[in-house]
Amino acid sequence: MPDLSVLANISEILGGVAILAGGIFAVIQLNEFREQRRQAAAVELVRSFSEPAHANAVNLLQELPDGASAELLRSKGREYERAATMIAITYETMGVLVFRRMASFAMVRELTGGLTVVMWRKLGVWVNTVRQEQGHRSFAEWFQWLADRLARESAEKEAHPAHEKYADWRPRD
């Protein structure tokens, strides 16, 4: 019959191995959960860009000059300010998701990097006017934050747009 101290040592080792295995399993599960959350955020972002209202807002605002004043935007009609508000809220949400690492910066850059920068160039003066009028310095703060980060990255993307950079891409089927 084996010595009780040997059995106790083996039990301790097995207990430690079980705890270690449980810890490894927990880390793997946590990583899978984070990936699912990132994928869900990506799907939600794609969905928001698929909405006709978003496309209509972009179409309206693209005709504005860069640095359009609030006065110019408002003179074009109420639908222009509604479009500007919608775009600001959409990119505001996206900025928070990137900052909180719920959506990856790389995915957002690929999905909407150039458009975010263009919309900020057109709406930045309007945003600052709204901030002053409402005494609300944080209005569209994450929109501005995201546009600033994407503008820093845009030179690389512009030098190598996806249709050129991935011209040899093939599906894995």
Reported as a single tens digit per residue, the pLDDT across 108-133 is: 888 888 899 999 999 999 999 999 99
Regarding pTM above 0.85, the answer is: no
- What is d(CA 134, CA 72) in angstroms, rounded to the nearest whole number? 18
Are 145 and 99 a contacting pair, CB within 8 Å? yes
pLDDT for residue 157 is more than 70: no
Q: Is 160 left (phi over 0), alpha (psi -120 to 50) or beta?
A: beta
Domain ranges of the chain: 40-165
With bands split at pLDDT 50, 70 and 90, how would you rate the model's confidence at 36?
confident
DSSP 42-80: HHHHHHHHHSHHHHHHHHHHHTSPTT--HHHHHHT-HHH
Q: Do the beta carbons of residue 84 and residue 123 sit within 8 Å?
A: yes
